[in-house]
């Protein structure tokens, strides 16, 4: 995918110099699903930036006005048929620095990213997972035009309690088809 521009944002590959901003929002990820992405140092952030830079579907969400990385959005084409060669399904994931939430950046970035995926990557269906307690993400999915397709009870665990037992989370699945995309 190529760089994407919106009114206020640039979605572009990660590059050297993004380490500090990446560290800022991944030193303490808000949602449990991102706990395995936690970064403990600027040195680790530098390695993570290098890895993200090599992935053609991984984008930094950057403010046009000052070049600050305020989050990321990524996903990969997949097939619903293991024997098929065409990859027509896509599951994106996004996160924003908490200091920049509630300003419409999430919608602006996700809309532009999904628009590009549908128009340029031959994607037929996009599905999005979100925790049942992540109301902001649920509202964002609905604003994007995705419908809630199901609730998976105790679907997955990303963290453990103080005794080391997994904490299972309820997860909603939202989806939208290319023919429904506006």
Q: What is the pTM of this model?
A: 0.90
- Determine the Cα–Cα distance for residues 164 and 142; give it in Å rounded to an integer: 35
Give φ, ψ of 42 to 5 degrees.
-65, -30
Is the four-CA dihedral 143, 148, 152, 154 of positive or negative sign?
A: positive
Q: Is the pLDDT of residue 71 over 90?
A: yes
Q: What is residue 1's predicted lDDT score, i.e. its pLDDT?
A: 74
- Determine the Cα–Cα distance for residues 151 and 155; give it in Å rounded to an integer: 9
End-to-end Cα spacing for the chain: 20
Q: What is residue 87's predicted lDDT score, i.e. its pLDDT?
A: 82
Q: Please give the mean pLDDT across all residues of the chain.
A: 91
- Contact predicate 51/60, CB 8 Å: no
């Amino acid at each position: 995918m190529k760089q994407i521009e919106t009114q206020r944002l640039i979605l572009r590959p990660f590059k050297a110099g993004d380490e500090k901003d990446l560290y800022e929002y991944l030193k303490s990820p808000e949602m449990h699903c991102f706990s395995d992405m936690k970064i403990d140092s600027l040195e680790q952030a530098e390695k993570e930036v290098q890895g993200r830079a090599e992935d053609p579907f991984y984008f930094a969400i950057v403010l046009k006005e000052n070049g600050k990385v305020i989050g990321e959005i990524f996903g990969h084409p997949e097939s619903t048929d293991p024997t098929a060669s065409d990859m027509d399904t896509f599951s994106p994931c996004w996160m924003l620095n908490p200091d920049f939430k509630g300003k419409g950046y999430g919608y602006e970035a996700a809309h532009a990213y999904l628009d590009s995926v549908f128009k340029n990557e031959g994607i037929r269906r996009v599905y999005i997972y979100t925790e049942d307690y992540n109301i902001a993400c649920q509202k964002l999915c609905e604003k994007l035009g995705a419908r809630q397709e199901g609730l998976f009870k105790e679907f997955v665990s990303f963290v453990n309690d103080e005794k080391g037992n997994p904490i299972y989370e309820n997860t909603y699945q939202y989806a939208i088809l290319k023919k429904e995309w506006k």
